[in-house]
A = this chain, B = another copy of it.
Amino acid sequence: MAKNVLIYGGAGQLGKAVAEQFLRISSTQWSVTSVDFANSIDGARSIILQGDVEQDITNVSETFKAEEAGFDAVICVAGGWAGGGVKSHGIFAGVDKMWKFNVQSAVASSHLAANFLRPGGLVVLTGAAAALGPTPGMVAYGITKAATHHLVSSLASPGSGLPEGSSVLAILPITLDTATNRQGMPDANFDDWTPLDVVGQLLVGWAQDPAGRPASGSLIKLITKDKNTEFIPA
């Protein structure tokens, strides 16, 4: 039977890289479905969101129900970053934006996983290594990623609604090597940033091999130094 992966945020820089890694696997045939505001890469099926998360997920759910769809992996790589402390009035816009980008996408992915993940499946959300500690200079980002980390702990607990034997993990990047980040921080040492294909390969590995997954509920930091990436449980 073909394996199916749902990539929430599959049209983003990380999402496309993850989709690419899944489509590359020849030993197992993966069918890739992206859910995002734009199209993902060729070879992936793209479901386009309109903007109202509740209505969007109603529509997506009806489509999946009609198809009797089941996923072996649901991966949320949607999200974003915003800086700023609480003193600036911009905190309200920042919090609102981070809420929509980071928390609504994580909740939507979790909801879809609870309803369409196959037994023994994998759920991966995107947290942030920075949010393991205080983030006074990027409060909105920090609180939404802390919320995501907490969501992972709840999804990994009995009674979460996920099917039997499923694994819930979070990847906690420090800095991903994206075009956006290179533009924003042109003088940084890119050798210490995590390449997107490395993230994709990690996720494919977890999806392919249930025995190789960290314990459900784990938050896995992606720590890159001199072009070498380690995956360290928080």
Instruction: Please report A residues at the B interface, Cβ cutoff 8 Å.
Output: 53-54, 57-58, 61, 85-89, 91-93, 95, 99, 103-104, 107-108, 110-111, 113-115, 131, 133-137, 139, 142-144, 146-151, 153-161, 217
Partner of A144, one of B58, B108, B136, B147: B147
Kindly provide the distance from the CB of A111 to the nearest chain B CB, expressed in whole angstroms. 5
Bound Cα distance A108, B156 (Å): 32
13 CB contacts below 8 A, A to B, read: A53-B92, A54-B92, A86-B107, A86-B151, A87-B161, A91-B111, A92-B107, A95-B104, A134-B150, A139-B151, A143-B154, A144-B147, A146-B150
Tell whether, in the assembled complex, residue B86 and residue A111 are in contact, meaning their CB atoms are under 8 Å apart: yes
Tell whether, in the assembled complex, residue B136 and residue A160 are in contact, meaning their CB atoms are under 8 Å apart: yes
Partner of A87, one of B115, B153, B217: B115
Q: Contacts of A86 on B, CB cut-off 8 Å? A: 107, 110-111, 113-114, 151, 154-155, 160-161
Task: Closest B residue to A217 by CB, please name it.
Answer: B134
Q: Contacts of A53 on B, CB cut-off 8 Å? A: 92
Q: Contacts of A108 on B, CB cut-off 8 Å? A: 92
Copies in the complex: 2
Tell whether, in the assembled complex, residue A95 and residue B107 are in contact, meaning their CB atoms are under 8 Å apart: yes
Kindly provide the distance from the CB of A82 to the nearest chain B CB, expressed in whole angstroms. 13
Tell whether, in the assembled complex, residue A155 and residue B136 are in contact, meaning their CB atoms are under 8 Å apart: yes
Taking A54-B89, A137-B159, A139-B154 as known contacts, 9 extra A-B pairs with beta carbons closer than 8 A to each other, sorted by chain A number, are A57-B92, A86-B113, A87-B115, A134-B157, A136-B155, A142-B150, A143-B148, A143-B151, A146-B146
Q: Contacts of A157 on B, CB cut-off 8 Å? A: 134, 136
Partner of A136, one of B54, B61, B115, B154: B154
Bound Cα distance A57, B148 (Å): 27
Give the top 9 A-B pairs by smallest Cβ distance, nearest first: A87-B161, A146-B150, A87-B114, A134-B157, A143-B147, A54-B92, A136-B160, A134-B153, A86-B110
Pick the most buried of A54, A86, A137: most chain B CB atoms within 10 A of its CB.
Answer: A86
Bound Cα distance A61, B110 (Å): 38
